Amino acid sequence: MARLLAAGASARAADERGRSALLAAVQNRHAEVARTLLLAGADVNLKDTDANSPFLLAAATGQADMVRLALAHGADLASTDRYDGTALIAASQHGHVEVVKLLLKAGVAVDHVNDLGWTALLEAVILGDGSTRYEETVQLLLDAGADANLADREGVSPTRHARERGYKTMVKMLMRVRGH
């Protein structure tokens, strides 16, 4: 990659679907290639026709080192995917604890609501499997001020979703925050 860039290749070039070399590097988990492209001026926020950006993809796939790099190179904390979900929503959905920590520290909005009517907290409860990593994700979100009373479009709270799924530890966490 360094040789291509030295020979005049653009770090910002994209194909007909808007996929940049940086997006491909993140997708294929080639951290060194991504680092080289970023140092050459690649854009962490450039979206393809599916509204994927290197920053959003790194968060969704749990690539903490790449998220750190993206944050250091101007990642747009308010950027959203095709479902209007933030990087925090995507990371929470998949229980990527380290990425959730990074994004919360960086200041990504904790209660952003996506097109499905879900927040990061709802995604962690509804789409998670109740395992330790999802419990940690829920606790991190609550510690960051996530609204435990913010229900989905049908009026179902995170607590009720957790109870219906048998996630006892999450129910306790959510009830503590709700003051019950």
What is the mean pLDDT, run by run of 10 residues, along the chain of 180 residues? 50 72 94 90 93 97 97 97 98 99 98 97 98 98 97 96 98 84
Residues 6+ apart with CB under 8 A from 15: none
Give the chain's length: 180
Judge contact between 132 and 169, C-beta under 8 A. no
Average pLDDT along the chain:
92
At the topology level, CATH places domain 95-180 in 1.25.40
Q: What is the pLDDT of residue 16?
A: 76
Rounded Cα distance between 98 and 104, Å, is 10
The CATH number of 1-76, from 3.20.10.10, 1.25.40.20, 1.20.1250.20, 1.10.10.350, is: 1.25.40.20
Rounded Cα distance between 180 and 170, Å, is 14
Q: What is the pLDDT of residue 10?
A: 57
DSSP string spanning the chain? -HHHHHTT--TT-B-TT--BHHHHHHHTT-HHHHHHHHHTT--TT---TTS--HHHHHHHTT-HHHHHHHHHTT--TT---TTS--HHHHHHHTT-HHHHHHHHHHT--TT---TTS--HHHHHHHTS-SSHHHHHHHHHHHHTT--TT---TTS--HHHHHHHTT-HHHHHHHHHHHT-
Name the residue ranges covered by the structural domains of the chain.
1-76, 95-180
Tens digits of residue pLDDT in 56-103: 999 999 999 999 999 999 999 999 999 999 999 999 999 999 999 999
Asked if 1-76 and 95-180 have one fold, the answer is: yes
- For residue 35 the two structure tokens come to 């680092």
Q: What is the pLDDT of residue 7?
A: 43
